[in-house]
Amino acid sequence: MIGIYSKRGKHGGTYVHKDIAFEFASAISLVFKLYLIKEFERLKQLENQNRDWDIKRILTKNNYLIHTDAIKNYILLIVIIIKIKNGAININ
């Protein structure tokens, strides 16, 4: 496993492991290597922020379903009890 992957055609290119890319950048210029490392760190932070948002969105969606189901079941139970008391539903 070398850490280099080449792909032909549309969306093709050469992809390398980040450590190889950083070493290649240092061969070009130390300033370029520093820029590349800073940009990589910025993109990883952005990726983590989006992941946190996505997790919060999923939890909110699931909590919403739990709450709405609980309310529906509670209201349905109250409606049935009222209908039984009013004689609209015969349980005998």
| Domain residue spans of the chain | 4-86
How far apart (Å, rounded) are the C-alpha atoms in residues 49 and 78? 43
- The string of pLDDT tens digits covering residues 31-82 is 888 888 899 899 888 887 777 777 888 888 888 888 888 888 888 888 888 8
Torsion of CA 67, 73, 79, 81, to 10 degrees: -130
The yes-or-no verdict on residue 1 having pLDDT over 60 is no
The yes-or-no verdict on residue 3 having pLDDT over 60 is yes
- The string of pLDDT tens digits covering residues 12-38 is 888 888 888 888 888 888 888 888 889
How far apart (Å, rounded) are the C-alpha atoms in residues 38 and 52? 21
Please state the pTM of the whole predicted model: 0.43
- pLDDT at residue 92, rounded to an integer: 64
Going along the chain, which residue ranges are E strands? 4-7, 13-16
How far apart (Å, rounded) are the C-alpha atoms in residues 14 and 7? 6
